[in-house]
């Protein structure tokens, strides 16, 4: 049946703001590449 032990709080491997920084860097890199390729 339902196990209450599975309700424990899951911890992220990095702080939440690190995910935001990582996503920002990835999107900035993609935008840079798209604009760079479009220029040629």
Predicted confidence (pLDDT) per residue in 1-40, tens digit:
555 556 567 787 888 899 999 999 999 999 999 999 877 6
For the chain, the residue count is: 40
Is 2 inside any structural domain? no
Residue 6 lies in a domain: no
* Model pLDDT, residue 5: 58
The verdict on residue 9 lying in a domain is: no
The DSSP string of 1-40 is ---GGGGSPPPPSS-HHHHHHHHHHHHHHHHHHHHHHHH-
Counting the structural domains of the chain, the total is 1
**Rounded to an integer, what distance in angstroms lies between the CA atom of residue 40 and that of residue 28?**
19
Question: Would 27 be classed as within a structural domain?
Answer: yes
pTM over 0.75: no
Q: Look at residue 1 in the predicted model and tell me its pLDDT.
A: 52
- Establish if 19 belongs to a structural domain: yes
pLDDT of residue 10: 76
Domain that holds residue 31: 15-40
Amino acid 21: pLDDT: 96
């Amino acid at each position: 049946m339902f196990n209450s032990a599975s309700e424990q709080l899951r911890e992220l491997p990095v702080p939440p703001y690190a995910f935001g920084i990582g996503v920002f860097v990835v999107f900035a890199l993609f935008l840079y590449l798209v604009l760079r390729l479009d220029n040629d």
